[in-house]
């Protein structure tokens, strides 16, 4: 069985259709990048399209008599990825 397995491996290595593995380090670096771009891009959304009147910053809405919903994001008003 071992001889058969070795022979099969040698045949695969010599085959013109064999898959040549790329450099392991390169694969390690590129794999997470490939995985991340395989996901559909989250919709880059502009808060002005939500129908909600958004004010910039907490100070703009303090003391107006209504409870406040403060949305905290990384990035800007017209670039919300959610």
User: In this complex, which beta carbon is closest to another protein, that of residue 4 or of residue 24?
Assistant: 24
**16 vs 65 by CB, closer to another protein:** 65
From residue 73, alpha-carbon distances to 10, 33, 53 in Å are 56, 24, 16
Total number of residues shown for the chain: 82
Contact 77, 47 (CB under 8 A): yes
Residues 15-44 that bind another protein (CB under 8 A): 25, 29, 32-33, 36-37, 39-43
Nearer residue to another protein within complex by CB, 11 or 52: 52
DSSP assignment letter at 58: G
Minimum distance from CB of 65 to another protein (Å)? 5
Cα 37 to Cα 20: distance, rounded to the nearest angstrom: 24
Residues that bind another protein (CB under 8 A): 25, 29, 32-33, 36-37, 39-43, 45, 47, 49-58, 60-77, 79-82
């Amino acid at each position: 069985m071992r001889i058969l397995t070795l022979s099969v491996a040698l045949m695969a290595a010599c085959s013109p259709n064999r898959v040549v593995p790329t450099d392991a380090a390169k694969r390690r670096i590129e794999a997470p990048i490939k995985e991340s771009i395989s996901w559909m891009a989250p919709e880059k959304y502009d808060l002005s399209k939500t129908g909600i009147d958004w004010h910039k910053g907490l100070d703009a809405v303090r003391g107006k008599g209504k409870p406040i919903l403060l949305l905290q994001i990384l990035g800007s008003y017209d670039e919300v990825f959610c």
